[in-house]
Chains A and B, each alone.
Chain A
Amino acid sequence: LAKTTQPISMDSYEGQEVNITCSHNNIATNDYITWYQQFPSQGPRFIIQGYKTKVTNEVASLFIPADRKSSTLSLPRVSLSDTAVYYCLVGDGGGLTGGGNKLTFGTGTQLKVEL
């Protein structure tokens, strides 16, 4: 399983754009990159997923360079409610054959948003 490395913590202010970068040097050809958000005492919540280039949805953008050895989650205008732990995960490709995609969680990034 590809290991991921993220900053332990980040601080920001309301209204700012936050970019969290994740390194995954050993990513495999079949692996997707997925970001989750977790609040205390809750299960992780899916934010965004991508394979290469750029993906955008209503809450975030995901930038993946051509070599796919890193990815950057971009939160456009954060608010206090975005204070949470953000996890970058790389799948083992099992989902392509059906069944499920085993995920290994790293330390995550604790984002703290202040006024």
Chain B
Amino acid sequence: GAVVSQHPSRVICKSGTSVKIECRSLDFQATTMFWYRQFPKKSLMLMATSNEGSKATYEQGVEKDKFLINHASLTLSTLTVTSAHPEDSSFYICSAGQGQGKETQYFGPGTRLLVL
């Protein structure tokens, strides 16, 4: 199947700093990528849809100024957690699809964020 990577795999930062997480589709182009967060022993929660060349679409309750998404190319989307706080500590996962009628979404390995 298609490969999606994320970087970094884990990050620890101080409260108040910003953290950028990259999501790359390695062997296909993705006009749309999705960002999720997952708390321990909970299901994935969709945060936003990242669209190449346009603004991201955020799910209800997700602060767009807090979680900045940039989809600068067909293979890269970034999620920046701005002014991170301990409650932002979570597992962040991206996914990408090949589109064009192909329904399968492929997920990245996830990024563990710990805000101290």
Tell me how far the C-beta of A79 lies from the nearest C-beta in chain B, rounded to whole angstroms: 21
**Interface of chain B, helix or strand or loop or mixed?**
strand
B112 touches A41 (CB 8 A): yes
Q: Determine which residue in B33, B106, B112 has the highest number of CB atoms from chain A within 10 A of its CB, and name it.
A: B106
CB-CB under 8 A for A98 and B31, given A43-B93, A106-B43, A107-B43: yes
CA A87 – CA B107 in complex, angstroms? 13
Q: Which of B11-19, B81-89, B95-103 contacts A (4 or more CB under 8 A)?
A: B95-103
A100 touches B107 (CB 8 A): no
Tell me the count of chain A residues lying within 8 A, CB to CB, of chain B.
26
A102 contacts the other chain (CB 8 A): yes
- Contact-residue size bin, chain B (C-beta under 8 Å from the other chain): 20 to 34
**Interface of chain A, helix or strand or loop or mixed?**
loop
B108 touches A46 (CB 8 A): no
A102 touches B112 (CB 8 A): no
B103 touches A108 (CB 8 A): no
Closest to B99 in A: A98
- Would you give the 0/1 interface string for A26-37, flagging 1 where the beta carbon is closer than 8 Å to chain B? 000000101010
- Would you give the 0/1 interface string for B59-84, flagging 1 where the beta carbon is closer than 8 Å to chain A? 00000000000000000000000000
CA A103 – CA B4 in complex, angstroms? 17
Task: Pick the 6 closest A-B CB pairs, nearest first.
Answer: A100-B32, A43-B107, A32-B103, A99-B32, A95-B103, A98-B99
Can you list 12 A-B contacts with CB-CB less than 8 angstroms, sorted by A residue number? A41-B110, A43-B93, A44-B93, A46-B106, A95-B100, A95-B102, A99-B32, A100-B99, A103-B105, A104-B46, A105-B45, A107-B43
